[in-house]
Structure 1
């Protein structure tokens, strides 16, 4: 259903803001927006499954993709204070999602490490979804997959550019 049909079905007499501005997005753009919304719903499912909040889930994502991290690195990546990171790590330890371990080469340093059981729990939800997405690609030729990949790469670049504040702004 396109944006104007959705708007009309909601019983509104005026055009949606994008259409009123003469910027009716094309179907792939509408579908990308829908993907973002569904991704948010999937993240909510992950938060409920792991019994964590948004910041905890973001920390777990960093730990699962990057491996063990120093608390200061988690603070930097999450954009939160070291005090907030300590509270968050305490919460994740209490839930059994992470442990604090000494760094293997610098015994004074501590690393936050995801537990095997927590990683398995997260992967039990993630891997079926990733597999299903990859299976969709199997329905396309190699050339079509190349086009899809290039389109998505360019879309990601556009999002990155627009996610950064303009130069000179706060």
Structure 2
């Protein structure tokens, strides 16, 4: 995507002053992040439509695949916690995904009363077919950055994640000078 720094002025903002070059540059960064989030959301909706699944179903399958890659077992209770849904919602989700052939349940190896969940080979194949090209393009973009750029992006995203995850931080008044950094 072309560099928009010189071609687009940031839109008028309710939250920030647009008469300071530093603020304008920061607004451009946040606007680029919003464009990425919109593109990411559209990609997720396309993926869900292609796989004929809702967001929670896809998150469950991706979590199981990731856990399998790490050699970790996942129980229905674990999945409920990861997805942030009730045990009843998880039971419905599992019935749906077992019925569609995406997940299989097995008895836990040491506790026969418990279950371990696995993504089926068909689910692995469907996820690869649907997502591998997009993941390849994303990796190409990340590999195209210099080491310093990669570190800067990681720092920015981690710091921004911390900023939006902290509900107890006092709001910054518009035009109140530079924001404090959240260095670790």
Partner of 1:29: 30
1:61 Cα deviation from its structure 2 partner = 2.5
Q: What is the alpha-carbon root mean square deviation over aligned residues?
A: 2.3
Larger relative contact order (C-alpha < 8 A, sep ≥ 6)?
Answer: 2
Q: How many residues align?
A: 151
Relative to its length, the structure with more helix (as a share) is: 1
Q: 2:93 aligns with which of 85, 88, 95?
A: 88
Unaligned runs of 5+ in 2: 1-7, 19-25, 170-184
> Does the CA-based 8 Å contact 1:89-1:98 persist in structure 2?
yes
Q: How does 1:17-96 map to 2 (within 5 A)?
A: 19-23=13-17, 26-67=27-68, 68-96=73-101
Q: What SS class does the counterpart of residue 26 from structure 1 fall into?
A: helix
Q: What SS class does the counterpart of residue 61 from structure 1 fall into?
A: helix
> Does the CA-based 8 Å contact 1:101-1:111 persist in structure 2?
yes
1:23 Cα deviation from its structure 2 partner = 4.9
Partner of 1:111: 116
